[in-house]
Amino acid sequence: MRSITAKQPGPTNTHDLTTPALVVEGSSLDANIAAMALERPAGRLRPHVKAFKSTQLARHVSVRGGHRHFCCATLAEMEGLAAAGLGEDLLLANETLDADRLGALVRRDDCRITVAVDSPETVDVASSAGADVLIDVDVGLPRCGCLPADAGRLADRARRAGLNVRGVMGYEGHTVAEADRDQRRRAVDESMRLLAGARDAVGGGLTSAGATGTFDMHESTDEVQAGSYLLMDSAYASMGLPFATALSLEVTVISRSPKGWCVVDCGLKSLGMDHGNPSVEGMSVFFCSDEHTTLLPTEGAEPPPVGTRLRVTPAHVDPTVAYHSLLHITDGDDVIETWPVDLRGW
Amino acid sequence: MRSITAKQPGPTNTHDLTTPALVVEGSSLDANIAAMALERPAGRLRPHVKAFKSTQLARHVSVRGGHRHFCCATLAEMEGLAAAGLGEDLLLANETLDADRLGALVRRDDCRITVAVDSPETVDVASSAGADVLIDVDVGLPRCGCLPADAGRLADRARRAGLNVRGVMGYEGHTVAEADRDQRRRAVDESMRLLAGARDAVGGGLTSAGATGTFDMHESTDEVQAGSYLLMDSAYASMGLPFATALSLEVTVISRSPKGWCVVDCGLKSLGMDHGNPSVEGMSVFFCSDEHTTLLPTEGAEPPPVGTRLRVTPAHVDPTVAYHSLLHITDGDDVIETWPVDLRGW
């Protein structure tokens, strides 16, 4: 990490950070970037910034991994990357009805803007904005995407509206958390078969799909949309992927009870909770409330004293990062850089 | 609402808001303030700002309800209220180890600062900062608070350290979501019996306790710490409380499938999920992902067309508001004010 930039002013030790504080171990982050670049080098991966929402982390990925084309879930992420000079090829892998903001992005002279479309309405918005499009195809996840059988017709409509149809995208989100690798592979293959058919109907071009949980199952997909591999979380860590858990939450023990528990200063406002409770080494999580988590030491140990710093691993990285304004990049206990989470909101 | 301030510039209709957008119906907010003030007038209620994290909403409560003493869960909330001129009597109803920031608050000449303490360590921090204290007592929730039997000893220690012990606080959080009112009442009474014993051991003074779910069960409690009553959510709305659901999330239908669902642009990064899925009138929530929620119309209806605006009611208000930077105050579809959520973070 030290090679990237000079050390910045600020806390030099994680113990000096105001808690709760998001901490990213730099060596793990860089190992994750390298492991992904080996499988999916530049042009074969479009890192998804929704997982980390930081232009400085995006820039680090582009320098270290060579990946300069990014994937976004929101217009705010698109606008932030563009303003940071990272707009070489930005994909809004999501539908939008906001022609004004999309059009303002297209009119920048330092960006290439592509947007997913899955309906006549979203084609009209792309047309009004002048953005390139990918036809978004339902490949099994009950969310966005046109039926595979409708992809060709939608592409024709887009072309009639003067749009450049770059190809198709299809997110196989229903497969990415399947624990059994063989079953996951079969489900991905089935989804990509649907996507390939849609691409043919569209008239060829790019296929964009995938996620961290399926990153190495996409030999015939042009570009994979993965983001969680960079920071990881306890949900993905259980799947045997070649990525290390780089993100944790530094917290402080603020209370200890003679009844055997202790309380740390993180909770529902600093942790995405949809995947369940976070994890803490040597402790079990009793429950989380707004700004507290009650912990029980395992195996009858005494809880740590008030003032102790602990590390909490969130169950789901994306909605966790979205609660925070800073990512502290560390080398062990040294804070070597602090990056704003500057792509939050919409 | 119109009587408070002149209309501000900005969107005049909720349909012009960038979605997802937090929307607060002003008449419901004001009805909630009035209903609470009837039961707990000024001095008998310490509104908890953790539920809304906005200095402008705090000021509105103080003007409309007469409540000028606030309760906070974080130092950032304390600092923000102090900076906004709302520091007449601020309670950090939480333990902190940060003597520097607490001391900086105490040194302001426009604030009164009180902090909860439940251990020798937190007494030392309060002493170093020079803050007044409440002895925080465990009244049944497995979280912060000393044992009732230890309260007197801790108060003695605080006084020996030169601190002003204002009394006791005890949060009966294990009772507040009990659906049966009689059972809830009995549980509150048992907790308040413990708190009263601790107060006697401490040598008298203030008792501070309670929440929205138990606000009318505290005849002998000096001040109730409630915040959710202002905006409400679907969890509290099922409990028969005299408060209206004032908060909702304006969202846009961005996709519609021939398979019968539609997708709106809110999800795990705009909704606190620990209490479960949000609710939408006339629809059932299929699932939420980071920036999407898939909805199924009830009773076989067609999903609404792409571009339709809908209102989503979050299951838990506090961690929902913490994802957003703005609260739009409305009169029907008119946006009459926009208040920053300026007390986020730590």
The superfamily CATH assigns to domain A26-228 is Alanine racemase (3.20.20.10)
pLDDT at B8: 53
Query: Between chains, do A305 and B74 touch, taking CB under 8 Å as contact?
Result: no
| Mutation target vs B (from A268, A275, A284, A341; most B CBs, 10 A cutoff) | A268
Query: Between chains, do B291 and A50 touch, taking CB under 8 Å as contact?
Result: yes
Chain A residues near residue B291 by CB distance under 8 angstroms: 50, 73-74, 94
Shortest alpha-carbon distance between residue B168 and chain A (Å) = 16
**Region A337-342 average pLDDT:** 98
Q: Which of A98, A121, A259 is facing B306, going by the closest CB pair? A: A121
Shortest alpha-carbon distance between residue A175 and chain B (Å) = 14
> Given the structure tokens 């004010």, which residue do they identify?
B337
* Contact between A92 and A106 (Cβ < 8 Å): no
pLDDT at B237: 86
Burial of A11 (C-beta count, 10 Å sphere; 0-12/13-18/19+): middle
Size of interface A-B (CB pairs under 8 A): 158
Chain A residues near residue B272 by CB distance under 8 angstroms: 268-269, 273
Give the relative orientation of helices B26-39 and B55-65 as an angle to the nearest 10 degrees.
Answer: 50
Query: Between chains, do B121 and A307 touch, taking CB under 8 Å as contact?
Result: yes
**Region A205-233 average pLDDT:** 96
pLDDT at A6 over 90: no
Nearest CA in chain A to B293: A143
Domain A247-340, classified CATH 2.40.37.20, yes or no = yes
pLDDT at A3: 42
Residues of chain A with CATH 3.20.20.10: 26-228
Shortest alpha-carbon distance between residue B269 and chain A (Å) = 5
Query: Between chains, do B345 and A322 touch, taking CB under 8 Å as contact?
Result: no
Better pLDDT: A327 or A239: A327
Q: Which of B96, B147, B288 is facing A274, going by the closest CB pair? A: B288
- pLDDT, averaged per 10 consecutive residues of chain B (346 residues), comes to 48 92 98 97 97 98 97 98 98 98 98 98 98 98 98 98 98 90 96 98 96 96 97 87 96 97 98 94 96 93 96 95 98 96 98
DSSP-based helix, strand, coil % in chain A, nearest 5 = 30, 25, 40
The token pair that represents B275 in the structure block: 């209490």
Provide the ipTM.
Answer: 0.95
Chain A residues near residue B97 by CB distance under 8 angstroms: 252, 254, 306-307
Query: Between chains, do B143 and A290 touch, taking CB under 8 Å as contact?
Result: no
Query: What pTM did the predictor assign?
Result: 0.95
pLDDT at A233: 83
Long-range contacts of residues A178-185, Cβ cutoff 8 Å, at least 24 apart:
A178/A213, A179/A238, A179/A239, A181/A240, A184/A213, A184/A214, A184/A217, A185/A217
Query: Between chains, do A143 and B294 touch, taking CB under 8 Å as contact?
Result: yes
Q: Which of B121, B306, B345 is facing A306, going by the closest CB pair? A: B121
Nearest CA in chain A to B276: A274
Q: How confident is the model at residue A8 (pLDDT cuts 50, 70, 90)?
A: low
Domain B26-229, classified CATH 3.20.20.10, yes or no = yes
Between the alpha carbon of residue A146 and those of residues A53, A123, A324, B222, the distances in Å are 28, 12, 34, 59
Query: Between chains, do A96 and B290 touch, taking CB under 8 Å as contact?
Result: no
Does the bond joining B319 to the residue before it have cis omega, within 30 degrees of 0?
no
Chain A residues near residue B254 by CB distance under 8 angstroms: 94-97, 122, 144
pLDDT at A309 over 60: yes
Q: Can you name the residues that pair with A310 across neighbouring β-strands?
A: A251
> Given the structure tokens 């990918």, which residue do they identify?
A134
Query: Between chains, do A252 and B292 touch, taking CB under 8 Å as contact?
Result: no
pLDDT at A237: 86
pLDDT at A10: 56
Chain A residues near residue B265 by CB distance under 8 angstroms: 94, 346
Query: Between chains, do A255 and B144 touch, taking CB under 8 Å as contact?
Result: yes
pLDDT at B2: 42
Q: Which of B101, B292, B318 is facing A144, going by the closest CB pair? A: B292
Sheet of B223-224: strands edge to edge?
B69-72, B89-92, B113-117, B132-136, B165-170, B206-209, B223-224
Mean pLDDT of chain A: 95
Query: Between chains, do A252 and B74 touch, taking CB under 8 Å as contact?
Result: no
Query: Between chains, do B323 and A325 touch, taking CB under 8 Å as contact?
Result: no
Shortest alpha-carbon distance between residue B286 and chain A (Å) = 9
pLDDT at A339 over 90: yes
> Given the structure tokens 């320098």, which residue do they identify?
A63
Could you count the other beta carbons within 10 Å of the beta carbon of residue B159? 15
pLDDT at B9: 59
pLDDT at B10: 57
pLDDT at A104 over 60: yes
pLDDT at A5: 47
The token pair that represents B111 in the structure block: 């604030």
pLDDT at A238 over 90: no
Query: Between chains, do B269 and A294 touch, taking CB under 8 Å as contact?
Result: no
Shortest alpha-carbon distance between residue A149 and chain B (Å) = 11
Q: How confident is the model at residue A9 (pLDDT cuts 50, 70, 90)?
A: low
pLDDT, tens only, A51-62: 999 999 999 999
State the Cα–Cα distance between residues A215 and A232, nearest whole angstrom: 14
Residue B48 backbone phi and psi in degrees, to 5: -90, 110
Shortest alpha-carbon distance between residue A3 and chain B (Å) = 31
Nearest CA in chain A to B326: A345
Query: Between chains, do B322 and A319 touch, taking CB under 8 Å as contact?
Result: no
